[in-house]
A and B are shown apart, each in its own frame.
Chain A
Amino acid sequence: DIVMTQSPDSLAVSLGERATINCKSSQSVLYSSNNKNYLAWYQQKPGQPPKVLIYWASTRESGVPDRFSGSGSGTDFTLTISTLQAEDVAVYYCQQYYSTPITFGPGTKVEIK
C-alpha cells in the first residue's frame, strides 16, 4: 500500500499570508506512460464532506479560487494557499489514486493566527 504523510499536522497563518502544506508518498505516484501524478488535494470544513481542490497534482477544480495551487511530482507535493482567507479554515488532505487501496494523508489543520 502507498503510505501518505503530511506536514505539518497543523499551522496557524495570519489573514492574507501564505500557507504551505506538504505531502509525501511512500512510492512514486507518477505514471510514466501519461506523465501524470495521481495525487489530489481535498478541503474539509467542520460538519461537511470533503471537497476536491486539486487533482493530477496541479489541476485546479472548476470553481476553486486561484489562491489555491498544487505542485510537485513523484513523491513530494505541496498545496499552497497564496493569501489565506477566513473561509479557508479547514483540514486539508492529500490523496493518491495511483493504485488501490487508494490512500489519504492524515490531514493538516489550517487555522487563523
Chain B
Amino acid sequence: EVQLVESGGGLAQPGGSLRLSCAASGFTFSTYAMSWVRQAPGKGLEWVSGISDTGGSTSYADSVKGRFTISRDNSKNTLYLQMNILRAEDTAVYYCAKANYDILTAIDYWGQGTLVTVSS
C-alpha cells in the first residue's frame, strides 16, 4: 500500500524558514517523480514544485521560485521542501504527491498534508 506521510509543518514568522519532509513507502520511491502541491485555507490546489526520479531535474511555480527548494533522498525514501523567506500567502496545507511516472504525468497518490501557517 502506497503511503506518503508529511511532517515539518507549523507556525513560522514572515521571512522565516521551514523544512517539510515526506516519508514514502509501499512503492519503489526512486522510480517515480514527486511533487509538492499546496492548498490555502478554503482555496483551490496550487502545484508548488516537482522533482524527477533521480533528483536531477526540478521545477517550480513562479510564486515560490528562488525561495523554495525541492530535494529527495532516494536512500531514505524521503522527499523534502525547504521553504525560505516565507510570506503570509504561503499559508496552506502542503501535500506530498507521487506522480504516475515522471513529472509530466498525473498524480496518483497524495499524502494527508501538513499545515504551514506564516504569521507574526
Contact = CB atoms under 8 A, between A and B. Distances in A.
Contact of B62 (A1, A51, A106): A1
B107 interface: yes
Contacts of A102: 35, 47, 50, 103-104
A52 B108 contact: yes
B108 A61 contact: yes
A106 to B, nearest CB: 5
Interface string A35-62: 0001010101000011110011000010
A105 B105 CA distance: 16
A91 B105 CA distance: 21
A104 B44 contact: yes
B60 interface: yes
A42 B62 CA distance: 23
A99 B47 CA distance: 12
A50 B106 CA distance: 12
A101 B64 CA distance: 11
Interface residues of A, number: 26
B47 A49 contact: no
A52 B106 contact: yes
A34 to B, nearest CB: 11
B55 interface: no
Interface in B15-65: 35, 44-47, 50, 59-62
A100 B106 contact: no
Given A49-B113, A52-B106, A101 B95 contact: no
In order of increasing CB-CB distance, the 10 nearest A-B pairs are: A55-B106, A49-B110, A40-B106, A100-B59, A102-B47, A104-B45, A107-B44, A101-B61, A97-B104, A106-B44
Interface of B: 35, 44-47, 50, 59-62, 95, 100, 103-108, 110-113
Interface of A: 1, 38, 40, 42, 44, 49-52, 55-56, 61, 91, 93, 95, 97-107
30 contacts: A38-B104, A42-B107, A44-B45, A49-B111, A49-B112, A49-B113, A50-B110, A51-B110, A52-B106, A55-B100, A55-B105, A55-B106, A55-B108, A61-B108, A93-B45, A95-B47, A97-B103, A98-B104, A99-B104, A100-B103, A101-B47, A101-B59, A101-B62, A102-B47, A102-B50, A102-B104, A103-B47, A104-B45, A104-B46, A106-B44
